[in-house]
Amino acid sequence: MKGAFDRLSERVRQGVVQDLGWREFRPIQEMAIEAILDGLNVLALAPTAGGKTEAAMIPVVDSLCRDGGRALYLSPLRALLNDQEERLIRLARLGGLRSFKWHGDVGADRKRAFAADPTEILMITPESLEVILAIPRYDKPALFGNLRFVVVDEIHAFAGDDRGDHLIALLERLTEYAESDFQRIGLSATVGHPETLLSWLQGSSRREARVLRPPESKSRRVVEIHPLGPDEEPGPLAARLAAGQKSLLFSESRGKVEKLKLQLEEGGVRAWSHHASLSREYREEAERAFREGTSCCIVCTSTMELGLDVGDLDLVLQFHAPPTVSAFLQRLGRTGRRSGTAGHLAFLTDESDSFLLACALVSLALEGWIEPVRPTTRSAHVYLHQVLARLLQRGGLTRRSLVEGVGSPWCFSDLAPADREEILDHLLGTGLLEKVDSLLVLGREGEKKFGHANFLELYSVFETPQELRVRTLDNQEVGTLETWFAQSLGETLVFVLGGRAWVSVECDYERAVLTVKPAPRGRIPTWMGSPRLLSYEVCQAMRRLLIGEAPVPYLGPRAARCLERLRLEWGELLRPTPLTIQRQGDEVLLHTYAGGKVNNVFGRLLEHRTGARVSIDNTRVRASMPASGPWWSAIEDVLDRVRAGLDAETIRALVALLPRARMSKFQPDLPPRLETALTAERLLDPDGARAVAAGERRTVETGPTPRGRQGGRA
C-alpha cells in the first residue's frame, strides 16, 4: 500500500496490516485518509458495507494517536452504536486508544466511570449528547475542550428532519467548549446534491470542505416486481422466493410485519419480526439468531434499512413500495456484497398503486435520479427547543445571547431575529420562560414541564408517539403499542406482536400499560400508519409510465401485462397535457401527478373558495361540484390564484383546513404565526402548484374514472 498508507504513523500502519489483515485500502479509504489528515471537513460517499467507517476512523485514530485530543462518533440509532461498538474498539486499538458507547440503555455506573476517566472516542446519539450538555454535573470543558473530530455516521438519515436540525444545532453548541475548529466528517450512502449536505454539516467551521465520491464500480443488480391479485396474500410467494436464502422482508406497516412473519413460517421459512414496537431484547435476539443463520428471514419496517450488520444477504423482499428512490436503493444495497454475487430485490405489490410506485422508483434509479437533500433553513420549533435546552444547561441567559444563538447552524439561517424575538415573547407569555433581572430563565410552566425529573422530555426534539407497554399477566414485557391504535379498537383488542396473537385483559392509560393474554388465532387488525406524501418527481415518473407505449425492460410477463392494463385504463385520459381536468357527473377531478403537497394546495384552495367537499391524494384532487353550477369558473379562479402566487393570508386559510397533524413535540409551544408556517412548510408546496397551474391543461367529460387509483392518500 502506497500513498495514504505511507502518511499513517508506524503504529497504525502495523495495526492495519497485522490486526486488520489488510493489504490494500479501498478507493474511499485512500481518499478519506488523505483529506482528513490534510485537515478538511469531508462527506464520504460509498455504498453500504463499502468501508466508510474505517475510511473515517483510521485517519482520526492516527491523528489522535500522534497529537492527542478526542473524537465523537454520532449515530442515528442505538442499535447501530451497539452494532459498531466492537468495530470501533478494534479501530481505536490501532493507535492504543479507547472507545466508549453512551446511550439510554447504558447503565449509570458505566457513564459515571466514563465521566471520571473519558476515553478518546465517544460513540453517542444526538439525544444522549443533549443530556450531557444539559446536566450541570458533567464537566463539559473537560469532555469537549480538546474535541478535534466529529464523525456523523449515516448522515443521510438525519438530513431534512427534526433530528438532523437538532444534530447540527448541537454541533454548534459544542463550539462553546472546543478550543479549536473541530473537523466534521459525514458518512453516507449515495445522496442527491451531496454538496448541500456537506454545507449543512459545515456550519460555522471555516475549514476547507470536500465531497469524497470514488467512481462507482459496475455491479450487477436484479430487481423483480411481482403484482399480486386482489385476494392473493403475499406470504406464500415471499416464502417461495426466500426459501433456502438469507433475506430481509420490508413492510411499511408494523401490523403487516407480524402477519407476514406468520405466513413465512407457515411456508417453512424461519422468520423473525423487527420493528420499533418490539422490546430491545427481542430485536437483539432476532438480529443475533439471523446473523448466525443461513436460510432465514427478518420481516421488518425501516428499522433494518440502515447499516446494521446482519451478515451477507442473498435477497431483499419489499411488500408494496417505499416512498423514495433513496430508500429503495438503500434496501437494494443490503444485498450483493459478496464477490461474484448480484444485488437482488423483489417487490411484492398490488396491481395498481404500489405496483406503479415500485416501477417509478426503479425507472428513476435507472436514470440516475435520487432525491436531493433539502434541509430546512427556518426551523422555528428546533430553535425553541434549543432555547429551553440552553437555559436548562446554563440556568439563565441574556435575551441577546438567546436571539444570537450559538454558531451558524443551517437550520436557523433564515430564522430572522424578529422571528426569534417573537418566540421568546411567546414563551414568556405562556410561562415557559420568566425574566429575572437581566436573564431569561425557565418559568414556572417550564420547570413543571421540563425541569428536574421531567428534563428527559426536553432532550429529544422529535415527536415520539404515545405508547402503551404491553405486558403479560405474569409481567413479561412483549413490546409496545401506539396508544391511538389501542383507542381506535374499542374495549377488546386482538392483535399480533412479537409473532404471537394477544387479547387485552386490562388497559391502564395512566401507567401506560396494556395487560394481555395469548389469544386464539383470529383476524389480525391492520395498523394504519400516517399517510405518505410522495414527491413531484416520483409522481411524474408514475405518469410517464402510464402514458408511455414502449415496453419496460425490467418487468416480467405478469408485471408487463399489469402495466399494459393500467395504460389502457389511464393513458388516453392523461395524454397529452400535464394537467387533465375531468368532469364526471357531479365531480371534478384534477389529474396532476404532482405529489400530495402540491395537491393539498389545489384541494384546500378549492375548498376555501367554493366550500366543495374535496379529497386529495398524490396524483389527483377530487371535488364534489354539481354540473349545474359554475364549476368551470371556480376551477379557473383557483388556477389563476395559484399562478399569481398565494399571499400569507391565503396560506393561513389553507392551513386551517388541513388535518391538525402533530409534526413536532414543540409545535404547540410556537407562536400561532410560526406554527402555521411550520405546517405550511411540511404539507403545502405553493411553488410547485404554481408551476403546475402555469402549464398546459385540457378538460374532458367522461364516465366513471378507471377503477385503479395510483398514489397513497395525502
> Angle at CA 283, nearest 5°, toward 278 and 289?
145
Q: pLDDT category, 1, cuts 50, 70, 90? A: low
Is the pLDDT reported for residue 528 higher than 50?
A: no
Omega before 576 within 30 of 0, i.e. cis = yes
Is the pLDDT reported for residue 662 higher than 80?
A: no
Give backbone dihedrals phi and psi of 587, rounded to 5 degrees, phi first: -125, 150
Which comes out higher in pLDDT, residue 503 or 404?
404
380-457 and 577-701: identical CATH topology: no
CATH topology of domain 577-701: Gyrase A; domain 2 (3.30.1360)
Query: 663 near 580, Cβ under 8 Å?
Result: no
What residues have CB less than 8 Å from 199, skipping those under 6 apart?
A: 209, 410
Which strands sit side by side in the sheet containing 121-124, from one edge to the other? 99-102, 121-124, 70-74, 147-152, 183-188, 41-45, 209-212
pLDDT tens for each residue of 591-638? 999 999 999 999 999 999 999 988 888 999 989 998 888 899 999 999
Residue 676's pLDDT is what?
Answer: 93
Q: What is the 3-state secondary structure (H, E, C) of 594-643?
A: CCHHHHHHHHHHHHHHHCCCEEEECCEEEEECCCCCCHHHHHHHHHHHHH
Alpha-carbon radius of gyration of the chain: 27
Percent of the chain with pLDDT over 90: 61
| CA separation, residue 462 to residues 302, 382, 507, 662 (Å) | 17, 9, 26, 11
Q: pLDDT category, 305, cuts 50, 70, 90? A: low
Which comes out higher in pLDDT, residue 78 or 328?
328
How many whole angstroms separate alpha carbon 455 and alpha carbon 237?
Answer: 49
**pTM metric for this prediction:** 0.86
| Mean pLDDT of the region 355-383 | 94
Dihedral in degrees, nearest 10, Cα atoms 87, 91, 92, 96: 130
| Mean pLDDT of the region 102-121 | 93
Query: 287 near 273, Cβ under 8 Å?
Result: no
Domain boundaries, the chain: 4-212, 221-366, 380-457, 467-518, 577-701
| CA separation, residue 270 to residues 262, 266, 292, 456 (Å) | 10, 9, 12, 39
Q: pLDDT category, 136, cuts 50, 70, 90? A: confident
Domain 380-457 listed as CATH 1.10.10.10: yes
Please report which helix (H) or strand (E) contains residue 487, including its range: helix 483-488
| CA separation, residue 357 to residues 547, 562, 576, 692, 711 (Å) | 15, 13, 21, 21, 7
Could you say which architecture CATH assigns to the domain 221-366? 3-Layer(aba) Sandwich (3.40)
Can you tell me whether residue 523 is helix, strand or coil?
coil
Poorest-confidence range of 378-382, 486-490, 612-616, 654-658? Answer: 486-490
- Give the homologous superfamily in CATH for domain 4-212: P-loop containing nucleotide triphosphate hydrolases (3.40.50.300)
Is the pLDDT reported for residue 269 higher than 80?
A: yes
Residue 489's pLDDT is what?
Answer: 46
DSSP assigned state of 372:
B
Q: Supply the mean pLDDT for the chain.
A: 87
Q: Give the pairing of strands 183-188 and 579-584.
A: unpaired
